């Protein structure tokens, strides 16, 4: 990873700049990089969108976003004024060639000619190809390392559409210029999986099928779809969460040790995992994947609507708001070890956690006690940390075994707030380091892993929807998926009741 690269002048062009993502994530992240001195002295931001506006009105809207969403809270007047002086707004029609002519002309004026130029596509995905093709008709970008393009998720809606989008992109840009965002990869705790595994000698010998019984990855949200019903109707939990975040986290847990931290080395190792995932045959989908949709219910004493009653959602919608899956990785390290994945909306809490459940000891010498197996929990959010459950002798006469936990949280140990994932990722784009971004083969492989499930689910409307109440861990089928194997879902460490050790609220 390129941590010490000196950054030259940089201009960031944001398409879709009037939108939610720009206000909530992109600008607060760039602003924090600016305050922390990571941006070069000479930089500028050009916001592009259809809405008629002025530089002043646009900046005002962005400041509100920073005041509301920045991890640092409200912007300070002097810092904001300096930052805002580098921001311009351009009202534009994405289908008009003139938009891109003016933009490129502007980028080449003054100091910008030699600058890094980053095109950030924060528009609805339907516009990605339009913008790329329009840019490509005006200029040869391939091989021009100072031009980079950032693509937001969703990257396609299946293998075919992802391939088509990759094709459009690679006709205009080299793969090395393309940054496909999966913001999960920018999270500190997700990056820490690599440090934890490969900077400590003790894990590698036991990080395999001989010692690990199974792995669980849970990414749960407490909220429903809220105002994003329109988007969700086209996506669903499988596309929105599993295809990207959960599979990428799984890759980091399962990958082989890299020989270096060069972008392509890390990405090759992640692709190796995806390509070793055992395909799910169409007639086996029911055995390996379960979908759910939330009903109306009560959350924190407040009534909440069913998914089918949400804004912009069809009243007979068959879209899943919950997915549980079982995957196997067919290689030496993981043969026979199931990876259970689950994600959903209106689950009991907001939590992302990876649990590695170790095998039990081969022999129990402590005759009076059952010895539960060790468990390692990597906590991604809301509290970032690591928890290792081991066994200890309970003080007293006789030999009584009791589970105890060793844990650390980032907050306790490092005492400083972690940067937002978007800060990490945007700085990497500015530096030209694509390690934490998805390469074309990774994205396509991830779609391919889910191909049969997508197809079967798309073509069969579930008859039991809605099938779970808000606050439950999904439908009964999710329970059956794992109990059939003689296992059970682990309650994420931070949601275990009566927890008093402060790991998680």
Ligand X SMILES: NC(=O)c1ccc[n+]([C@@H]2O[C@H](COP(=O)([O-])OP(=O)(O)OC[C@H]3O[C@@H](n4cnc5c(N)ncnc54)[C@H](OP(=O)(O)O)[C@@H]3O)[C@@H](O)[C@H]2O)c1
Q: Which residues are catalytic?
A: 245
Residue choice 9, 12, 14, 16 for contact with ligand X (CB under 6 A): 16
Q: Is 125 in the site for ligand X (CB under 6 A)?
A: yes
Query: Where do the DSSP E strands lie in 193-242?
Result: 212-220
> Judged by CB under 6 A, how many residues of this single chain contact ligand X?
16
Query: Do 378 and 189 form a contact (C-beta atoms < 8 A)?
Result: yes
Q: How many CB atoms lie within 10 A of CB 343?
A: 25
Residue choice 39, 84, 122, 429 for contact with ligand X (CB under 6 A): 122
Q: Is 20 in the site for ligand X (CB under 6 A)?
A: yes
Q: Which stretch binds ligand X (CB under 6 A): 121-129, 241-249, 362-370, 406-414?
A: 121-129
Task: Classify residue 408 as exposed, middle or buried by CB count within 10 Å of its CB (0-12, 13-18, 19+).
Answer: middle
Residues of this chain, 48-67, that bind ligand X according to CB under 6 A: 49-51
Query: Where do the DSSP E strands lie in 249-348?
Result: 289-292, 297-299, 302-304, 322-327, 339-344
| Of 154 and 466, CB closest to ligand X | 154
Residue choice 127, 176, 299, 388 for contact with ligand X (CB under 6 A): 127
Q: Is 123 in the site for ligand X (CB under 6 A)?
A: yes
User: 446: closest CA among 125, 128, 231, 155?
Assistant: 155
Q: Is 124 in the site for ligand X (CB under 6 A)?
A: yes
CA distance 60 to 67: 11
| Of 157 and 407, CB closest to ligand X | 157
| Pairing of the two strands 322-327 and 116-121 | unpaired
- Residue 82 beta carbon to ligand X: minimum distance, rounded to whole angstroms: 26
Q: Which stretch binds ligand X (CB under 6 A): 147-155, 187-195, 319-327, 448-456?
A: 147-155
Residue choice 152, 384, 420, 423 for contact with ligand X (CB under 6 A): 152
CA distance 122 to 281: 35
Q: What is the 3-state secondary structure (H, E, C) of 19-67?
A: CHHHHHHHHHHHHHHHHCCCCCCCEEEEEEECCCCCHHHHHHHHHHHHH
- Residue 491 beta carbon to ligand X: minimum distance, rounded to whole angstroms: 28
- Residue 350 beta carbon to ligand X: minimum distance, rounded to whole angstroms: 15
Q: Is 21 in the site for ligand X (CB under 6 A)?
A: yes
Query: Do 182 and 248 form a contact (C-beta atoms < 8 A)?
Result: yes
- Residue 26 beta carbon to ligand X: minimum distance, rounded to whole angstroms: 9
| Of 38 and 231, CB closest to ligand X | 231
Distances (CA, A) of 195 to 101, 274, 292, 391: 45, 21, 35, 25
- Residue 103 beta carbon to ligand X: minimum distance, rounded to whole angstroms: 15
CA distance 128 to 122: 9
The residues that touch ligand X, with contacts defined as CB under 6 A, are 16, 18-21, 49-51, 122-125, 127, 152-154
């Amino acid at each position: 990873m390129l941590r010490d690269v000196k950054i030259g002048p940089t201009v960031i062009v944001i398409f879709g700049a009037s939108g939610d993502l720009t206000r909530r994530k992109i600008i607060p992240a760039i602003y924090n990089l600016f305050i922390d001195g990571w941006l070069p002295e000479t930089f500028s931001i050009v916001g592009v969108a259809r809405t008629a506006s002025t530089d002043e009105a646009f900046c005002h809207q962005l400041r509100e976003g920073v005041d509301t969403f920045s991890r640092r809270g409200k912007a300070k007047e002097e810092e904001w004024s300096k930052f805002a002086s580098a921001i311009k707004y351009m009202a534009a029609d994405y289908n008009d060639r003139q938009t891109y002519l003016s933009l490129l002309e502007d980028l080449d004026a003054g100091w910008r000619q030699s600058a890094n130029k980053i095109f950030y596509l924060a528009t609805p995905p339907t516009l990605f190809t339009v913008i790329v093709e329009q840019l490509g008709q005006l200029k040869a970008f391939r091989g021009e390392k100072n031009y980079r393009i950032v693509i937001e998720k969703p990257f396609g809606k299946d293998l075919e559409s992802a391939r088509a989008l990759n094709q459009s992109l690679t006709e205009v840009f080299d793969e090395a210029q393309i940054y496909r965002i999966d913001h999960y990869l920018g999270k500190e705790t997700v990056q820490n999986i690599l440090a934890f595994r490969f900077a400590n000698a003790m894990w590698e010998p036991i990080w395999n099928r001989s010692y690990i019984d199974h792995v669980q990855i849970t990414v749960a949200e407490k909220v429903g779809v809220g105002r994003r019903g329109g988007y969700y109707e086209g996506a669903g939990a499988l596309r929105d969460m599993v295809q990207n975040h959960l599979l990428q986290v799984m890759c980091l847990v399962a990958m082989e040790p890299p020989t270096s931290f060069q972008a392509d080395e890390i990405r090759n190792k992640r692709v190796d995992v995806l390509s070793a995932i055992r395909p799910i045959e169409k007639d086996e989908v029911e055995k390996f994947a379960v979908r759910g949709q939330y009903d109306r219910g009560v959350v924190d004493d407040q009534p909440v609507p069913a998914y089918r009653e949400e804004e912009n959602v069809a009243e007979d919608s068959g879209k899943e708001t919950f997915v549980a899956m079982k995957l196997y990785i067919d290689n030496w390290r993981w043969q026979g070890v199931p990876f259970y994945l689950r994600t959903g909306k209106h689950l009991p809490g907001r939590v992302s956690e990876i649990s590695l459940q170790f095998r039990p000891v081969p022999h129990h010498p402590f005759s009076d006690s059952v010895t539960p197996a060790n468990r390692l929990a990597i906590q991604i959010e809301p509290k970032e940390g690591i928890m290792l459950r081991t066994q200890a002798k309970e003080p007293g006469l006789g030999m009584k075994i009791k589970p105890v936990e060793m844990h650390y949280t980032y907050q306790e140990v490092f005492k400083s707030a972690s940067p937002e994932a978007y800060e990490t990722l945007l700085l990497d784009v500015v530096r030209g380091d694509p390690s934490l971004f998805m390469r074309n083969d990774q994205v396509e492989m991830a779609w391919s892993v889910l191909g049969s499930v997508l197809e079967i689910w798309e073509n069969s409307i579930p008859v039991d929807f809605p099938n779970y109440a808000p606050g439950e861990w999904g439908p009964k089928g999710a329970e059956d998926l794992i109990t059939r194997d003689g296992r059970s879902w682990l309650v994420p460490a931070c949601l275990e009741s009566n927890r008093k050790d402060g790991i998680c609220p």
